[in-house]
Amino acid sequence: MSEPPLREPTFLILTALADEPRHGYAVIEEVDHISAGSVRLRAGTLYAALDRLRADGLIEVDREEVVQTRLRRYYRITAEGARRLAADAARMRRHATAAARRLGRFAGGTA
Protein backbone atom coordinates (compact mmCIF):
# COMPACT_ATOMS: atom_id res chain seq x y z
CA MET A 1 0.00 0.00 0.00
CA SER A 2 1.33 3.44 -0.86
CA GLU A 3 2.00 6.11 1.73
CA PRO A 4 -0.49 8.95 2.10
CA PRO A 5 0.60 12.23 0.54
CA LEU A 6 2.32 14.71 2.80
CA ARG A 7 0.20 17.67 3.84
CA GLU A 8 1.39 20.99 2.45
CA PRO A 9 2.93 22.32 5.70
CA THR A 10 4.77 19.02 6.24
CA PHE A 11 6.02 19.03 2.64
CA LEU A 12 7.29 22.59 3.05
CA ILE A 13 8.95 21.91 6.42
CA LEU A 14 10.83 18.95 4.95
CA THR A 15 11.75 21.08 1.93
CA ALA A 16 13.09 23.80 4.25
CA LEU A 17 15.29 21.21 5.98
CA ALA A 18 16.44 19.46 2.80
CA ASP A 19 19.47 21.66 2.15
CA GLU A 20 20.70 22.41 5.67
CA PRO A 21 19.76 22.08 9.35
CA ARG A 22 17.64 24.95 10.66
CA HIS A 23 16.20 26.07 13.99
CA GLY A 24 12.47 26.61 14.40
CA TYR A 25 12.25 30.29 13.52
CA ALA A 26 14.51 29.75 10.49
CA VAL A 27 12.14 26.97 9.34
CA ILE A 28 9.20 29.38 9.61
CA GLU A 29 11.09 31.99 7.54
CA GLU A 30 12.18 29.44 4.93
CA VAL A 31 8.66 28.02 4.53
CA ASP A 32 7.40 31.58 4.01
CA HIS A 33 10.11 32.09 1.35
CA ILE A 34 9.56 28.75 -0.41
CA SER A 35 5.80 29.28 -0.55
CA ALA A 36 6.15 32.92 -1.68
CA GLY A 37 4.21 33.93 1.43
CA SER A 38 1.21 31.68 0.80
CA VAL A 39 1.97 29.46 3.82
CA ARG A 40 2.77 31.16 7.11
CA LEU A 41 3.40 28.72 9.92
CA ARG A 42 2.66 29.72 13.48
CA ALA A 43 5.05 28.59 16.18
CA GLY A 44 2.56 26.18 17.77
CA THR A 45 1.79 24.57 14.41
CA LEU A 46 5.48 24.27 13.57
CA TYR A 47 6.55 22.70 16.86
CA ALA A 48 3.68 20.20 16.82
CA ALA A 49 4.70 19.25 13.27
CA LEU A 50 8.38 18.98 14.24
CA ASP A 51 7.48 16.67 17.14
CA ARG A 52 5.39 14.49 14.81
CA LEU A 53 8.11 14.42 12.13
CA ARG A 54 10.68 13.41 14.76
CA ALA A 55 8.41 10.64 16.05
CA ASP A 56 7.93 9.42 12.46
CA GLY A 57 11.70 9.38 11.86
CA LEU A 58 11.57 11.99 9.08
CA ILE A 59 13.70 14.57 10.91
CA GLU A 60 16.09 14.53 13.86
CA VAL A 61 17.82 17.02 16.11
CA ASP A 62 21.10 18.15 14.57
CA ARG A 63 22.38 20.20 17.51
CA GLU A 64 21.33 22.53 20.31
CA GLU A 65 22.80 25.82 21.42
CA VAL A 66 21.93 28.51 23.93
CA VAL A 67 21.37 31.98 22.48
CA GLN A 68 20.62 34.80 24.93
CA THR A 69 19.71 32.24 27.62
CA ARG A 70 17.25 30.45 25.30
CA LEU A 71 17.70 26.98 23.90
CA ARG A 72 17.84 26.89 20.10
CA ARG A 73 17.36 23.43 18.61
CA TYR A 74 18.41 22.74 15.01
CA TYR A 75 16.67 20.02 13.01
CA ARG A 76 17.83 18.08 9.97
CA ILE A 77 16.03 15.81 7.55
CA THR A 78 16.79 12.08 7.80
CA ALA A 79 17.37 9.73 4.86
CA GLU A 80 13.78 8.49 5.30
CA GLY A 81 12.54 12.09 5.35
CA ALA A 82 14.43 12.84 2.13
CA ARG A 83 12.97 9.70 0.54
CA ARG A 84 9.41 10.71 1.50
CA LEU A 85 9.97 14.27 0.29
CA ALA A 86 11.37 13.07 -3.05
CA ALA A 87 8.48 10.62 -3.52
CA ASP A 88 5.91 13.32 -2.79
CA ALA A 89 7.66 15.84 -5.05
CA ALA A 90 7.59 13.27 -7.88
CA ARG A 91 3.90 12.59 -7.26
CA MET A 92 3.08 16.29 -7.33
CA ARG A 93 5.16 16.75 -10.50
CA ARG A 94 3.17 13.97 -12.24
CA HIS A 95 -0.12 15.56 -11.18
CA ALA A 96 1.01 19.04 -12.28
CA THR A 97 2.13 17.68 -15.66
CA ALA A 98 -1.22 15.97 -16.20
CA ALA A 99 -3.10 19.14 -15.23
CA ALA A 100 -0.97 21.34 -17.51
CA ARG A 101 -1.46 18.93 -20.41
CA ARG A 102 -5.23 18.95 -19.97
CA LEU A 103 -5.35 22.71 -19.51
CA GLY A 104 -3.36 23.20 -22.71
CA ARG A 105 -6.56 23.31 -24.71
CA PHE A 106 -7.38 26.63 -23.03
CA ALA A 107 -4.14 28.24 -24.21
CA GLY A 108 -4.58 30.87 -26.87
CA GLY A 109 -8.28 31.32 -26.19
CA THR A 110 -9.47 28.01 -27.64
CA ALA A 111 -12.06 26.09 -25.68
Residue 30 has a CB neighbour count (10 Å cut-off) of 20
Give residue-wise pLDDT tens across range 53-109.
999 999 999 999 998 999 999 999 999 999 999 999 999 999 999 999 999 877 755
Give residue-wise pLDDT tens across range 27-55.
999 999 999 999 999 999 999 999 999 99
Distance, in Å, from the CA atom of 13 to the CA atom of 105, rounded to the nearest integer, reads 35
Distance, in Å, from the CA atom of 56 to the CA atom of 53, rounded to the nearest integer, reads 5
* CATH code at 8-104: 1.10.10.10
User: What are the residue ranges spanned by the domains of the chain?
Assistant: 8-104
End-to-end CA distance of the chain: 39
